[in-house]
Structure 1
């Protein structure tokens, strides 16, 4: 996991957000005015462009400044200005540019129904004004058809752009959500590892410290053995915590050098458990084979947590572990004959939920509860199908 980026100390100037809002309307206004003035000598308008015409001509581009405030209202207003401008008989040029820009903004902001409705009203109005002002020319069938085709093509291109932008936004949102979920899963995995490792090693240290204190005077040699076990267990705990904290800080460039949690450390786990005063027997059935790392680590952690819980809650007891390799994964059964499940009966703590989460993450299952004849039983089925090595 990479550390979050540092916030930038550079703050954009106040005009950085205003500039895009103003530049487009100014550009549209300049193009509209200059284009109309250049076109005027080549057309036969009923009325030459005057001051009032310039006001009508530039009112549409000016309205684009607030186009994102209410796109349908701005589009409707600009369309009305266009019809009014043409209705006064002023020369035609790139006059519809502001209306086309407002149409694009209305579509791109999701107001599709309003955009279609305003266009359906404005286009016939423009054609009608043309027919009323120049009846001697008749109905401009060719020109109207060409303009209608152009408007339809523009709308189709804008819709395609909008759809592609939405897909990109959705893909970005999905990628961000996937990254967030991966981060959450990684944090949960490390939290489970810390819980299991801390619980196991601290439980061993607590037991061995009690043995050392009890035998310090009567059996110094046994007390020395208990202290050696405490030293080894604390060293292992420090190694595992350093590896986990290194991942959290993102500072480890090389993989950890201490053994990775897995069934290859089963003998070590059993020996430490026996040293802590819990007799354990192990039985392996089926055809032992190398498991995917995620399954191997989950199997070890489940067994570690189950044995830790037995030491903490079962009282004087014996435990047995049975591993059965199957075609689709591995079956695990951890039994004890202690006085009872104690706190586990109420589901308290994080041990059982953590074990169930590990199994469920691999598509497997885990059940835990009192076993027939007394004691407690944990059954886990971890699947290897579909799990990468």
Structure 2
């Protein structure tokens, strides 16, 4: 019996109010109109008071009261006013008693359900007051009026209005819940998009770090092999072996990345050897080029969150890649300590610093700074006080909850 919302305010995904899914509201109103007509016709035919004439005019009024139910959704106030006026006209013609509240129940309910509550209350008061006045004027005992008929009429009017208000509020609550559900679903979709974008950025950053490192090793050993061919074939073969190892490692990283992109996103990136515990494997190709890499790492297992551990590994990797590419260094030192809940990471070399050709190019340092900042830390990269280049990072050992 609820009324539909106007199309302009109907929420997407919300079923049409006023009818169950698949039931035409016009059919519902038609059945209500027939039920109202039959109910009034039965009361007219019964003529409980025996004071009126059950002629055709009375049944015409019964059909009219029922017909008004059919327009309750389109014009609830019009239906209410015409119903009240029709009741007055019915009794003015001296037709059989049908009660004041019965013909008005549907009108009062519809007006209250569609938000015209005060119209329904006002009409109900008018109906009850007029009925009481004419009963007294007819000489009926006041005790009967107040003890039975007035209470019955007030109860019927109040029940019709209260039911209409309750249905309207229930429908509004249901639609509000549906809107909240849709907004929540949209917010969850946006959060998923943000997570996906963050994962793409992480993959791009890791690819840059990993491939940059391995390709730098490949380039250096290829140059060594080219210079050694014909003069020191053993050195050339060793250099080419390092080229093959670095290329194989790069291909493994690419295959792992493609596997991640093709499958569902994991809750957390797979760490594997991407941690400070894997630095020995990381620096092995760099040492093979002749760079003396000193590791001074004192970090207990489990002292770092996985994301911090992986970020520290990537920072060392990118720093050593820059040393191999630009620094023309003979020695690099990697140190890591956990002090007061912070990971202090430092990569220093004895090379040319920013004076080295191409030292300012690329996005390596910017990527390291961004990685540290996202984790709540900071990273500085500058020429060392005694030469060379120094990358120092201060990262939280644990991510904030």
> Are the counterparts in 1 of residues 335 and 346 from structure 2 also a CA contact under 8 Å?
yes
Give the aligned partner of residue 298 of structure 1: 311
User: Distance between the aligned counterparts of 2:356 and 2:110, measured in 1?
Assistant: 73
Work out which of the residue numbers 156, 163, 184 in structure 2 matches 1:150: 163
> Are the counterparts in 2 of residues 35 and 93 from structure 1 also a CA contact under 8 Å?
no
Computing the radius of gyration from Cα coordinates, the structure with the larger value is 2
Instruction: In structure 1, list runs of 5 or more residues that go unmatched.
Output: 1-15, 64-76, 104-114
> Are the counterparts in 1 of residues 209 and 364 from structure 2 also a CA contact under 8 Å?
yes
User: Aligned pair 1:31/2:31, yes or no?
Assistant: yes
User: Aligned pair 1:48/2:60, yes or no?
Assistant: yes
User: Distance between the aligned counterparts of 2:356 and 2:41, measured in 1?
Assistant: 95
SS at match of 1:382: strand
User: Distance between the aligned counterparts of 1:350 and 1:282, measured in 2?
Assistant: 25
Work out which of the residue numbers 243, 266, 269 in structure 1 matches 2:282: 269
Work out which of the residue numbers 81, 84, 87 in structure 1 matches 2:85: 87
User: Distance between the aligned counterparts of 1:33 and 1:228, measured in 2?
Assistant: 93
User: Distance between the aligned counterparts of 2:85 and 2:320, measured in 1?
Assistant: 90
User: Distance between the aligned counterparts of 1:333 and 1:263, measured in 2?
Assistant: 13
SS at match of 1:372: coil
Q: How does 1:168-247 map to 2 (within 5 A)?
A: 168-247=181-260
Q: How does 1:353-368 map to 2 (within 5 A)?
A: 353-368=366-381
Give the aligned partner of residue 72 of structure 2: 60
> Are the counterparts in 1 of residues 37 and 66 from structure 2 also a CA contact under 8 Å?
no
| Alpha-carbon offset, residue 191 of structure 1 | 1.4
> Are the counterparts in 2 of residues 362 and 383 from structure 1 also a CA contact under 8 Å?
yes
Give the aligned partner of residue 283 of structure 1: 296
1:222 and 1:259, CA in 2 relative to 1: closer, same or farther beyond 3 A? farther
User: Distance between the aligned counterparts of 2:161 and 2:68, measured in 1?
Assistant: 24
1:318 and 1:33, CA in 2 relative to 1: closer, same or farther beyond 3 A? same
> Are the counterparts in 2 of residues 47 and 88 from structure 1 also a CA contact under 8 Å?
no
1:51 and 1:234, CA in 2 relative to 1: closer, same or farther beyond 3 A? same
User: Aligned pair 1:321/2:339, yes or no?
Assistant: no
> Are the counterparts in 2 of residues 295 and 362 from structure 1 also a CA contact under 8 Å?
yes
Instruction: In structure 2, list runs of 5 or more residues that go unmatched.
Output: 1-14, 45-56, 91-102, 137-149
User: What is the root-mean-square deviation of aligned Cα atoms in Å?
Assistant: 4.0
> Are the counterparts in 1 of residues 220 and 289 from structure 2 also a CA contact under 8 Å?
yes
**How many residues are paired up?**
342
TM-score relative to the length of structure 2 = 0.71
1:346 and 1:216, CA in 2 relative to 1: closer, same or farther beyond 3 A? closer
SS at match of 1:366: strand
SS at match of 1:356: helix
TM-score relative to the length of structure 1 = 0.73
